[in-house]
């Protein structure tokens, strides 16, 4: 059936959004949702696992770390409503991967062009640091999801945790361990049966405000990922 992958992704999204497997993260996401940031006091926080977003027929996947406390955990859409989202979406727009340069809320009209965005961990972790066990617990969702995307050619891993999650997912797909060392802008090829991977620094304020990742460098790596995904 032509749209069976879309149905599978919808069922998987439902399963993810209902997940309560990591008790520490469930408590944290709900605590943030109740306490809120003063500037968002009128918001009804999402406070659940944040599903992926974008084009299910995309050849390119962008993978982040986890939702931000007052970004994805508030808005319910990955890379939406926080400084990392603003930086990434502006860069995606510049690279021709998004119809607009902003990502503010779920109904803001953002459409991704040939891109699907997910995260290694679906619930906001305290201090943006999921434990190794939480990463392992969430990984099967990513494996299932990436196996379901029919046209996947390139995964752009944003940051070290997404990079490791991608290697683990590709190892699962290959049924053998695949390895790589993180290097911004590096392209990793693992043979004709597996998607390629590119590494990038994460567009977090920690990186973008300190010069580790400039807008120019992010646009460059996004364009590189786009070209590879369309080749």
- Residues contributing to the site for ligand SF4 (CB under 6 A): 16, 19-22, 25-26, 49, 121-123, 134, 137-138
Pairing of strands 115-119, 53-54: antiparallel
109, 71 Cβ separation under 8 angstroms: no
C-alpha 154, offset from chain centre:
13
Closest distance between ligand SF4 and the C-beta of residue 134, in Å?
A: 6
Closest distance between ligand SF4 and the C-beta of residue 207, in Å?
A: 23
Closest distance between ligand SF4 and the C-beta of residue 115, in Å?
A: 22
The answer to whether the Cα torsion of 90, 10, 137, 71 is positive or negative is positive
Closest distance between ligand SF4 and the C-beta of residue 120, in Å?
A: 9
Q: Which residues contact 199 (CB under 8 A, 6 or more apart)?
A: 156, 157, 163, 180, 182, 183, 184, 185, 186, 188
Per residue, the 3-state secondary structure of 177-223, as one string, reads: CCCCCCCCCCEECCCCCCCEEEEECCCCHHHHCCCCCCHHHHHHHHH
CB closer to ligand SF4 out of 82 and 145: 145
CB closer to ligand SF4 out of 137 and 151: 137
CB closer to ligand SF4 out of 139 and 187: 139
CB closer to ligand SF4 out of 121 and 154: 121
Closest distance between ligand SF4 and the C-beta of residue 137, in Å?
A: 4
Pairing of strands 196-200, 115-119: unpaired
- Residue 5 CA to residue 66 CA, distance in Å, equals 24
End-to-end alpha carbon distance in the chain: 26
Closest distance between ligand SF4 and the C-beta of residue 13, in Å?
A: 11
- Residue 231 CA to residue 227 CA, distance in Å, equals 6
CB closer to ligand SF4 out of 134 and 172: 134
CB closer to ligand SF4 out of 47 and 91: 47
The encoded tokens of residue 38 equal: 């003063």
């Amino acid at each position: 059936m032509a749209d069976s992958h879309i149905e599978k992704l919808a069922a998987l999204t439902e399963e993810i959004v209902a997940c309560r497997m990591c008790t520490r993260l469930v408590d944290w996401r709900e605590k943030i949702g109740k306490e809120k940031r003063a500037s968002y006091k009128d918001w009804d926080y999402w406070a659940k696992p944040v599903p992926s977003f974008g084009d299910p027929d995309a050849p390119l996947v962008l993978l982040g770390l986890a939702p931000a406390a007052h970004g994805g955990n508030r808005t319910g859409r990955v890379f939406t409503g926080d400084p990392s989202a603003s930086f990434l979406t502006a860069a995606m727009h510049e690279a021709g991967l998004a119809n607009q340069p902003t990502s503010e809320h779920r109904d803001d009209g953002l459409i991704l062009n040939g891109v699907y965005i997910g995260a290694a961990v679906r619930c906001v972790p305290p201090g943006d640091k999921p434990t190794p066990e939480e990463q392992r617990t969430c990984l099967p969702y990513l494996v299932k999801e990436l196996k379901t995307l029919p046209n996947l050619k390139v995964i752009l891993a944003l940051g070290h945790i997404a990079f490791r999650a991608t290697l683990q997912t590709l190892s699962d797909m290959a049924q053998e361990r695949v390895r790589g060392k993180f290097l911004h802008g590096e392209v990793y090829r693992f043979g004709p049966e597996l998607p390629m991977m590119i590494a990038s620094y994460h567009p977090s304020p920690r990186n973008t405000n300190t010069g580790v990742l400039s807008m120019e460098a992010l646009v460059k790596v996004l364009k590189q990922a786009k070209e590879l995904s369309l080749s």
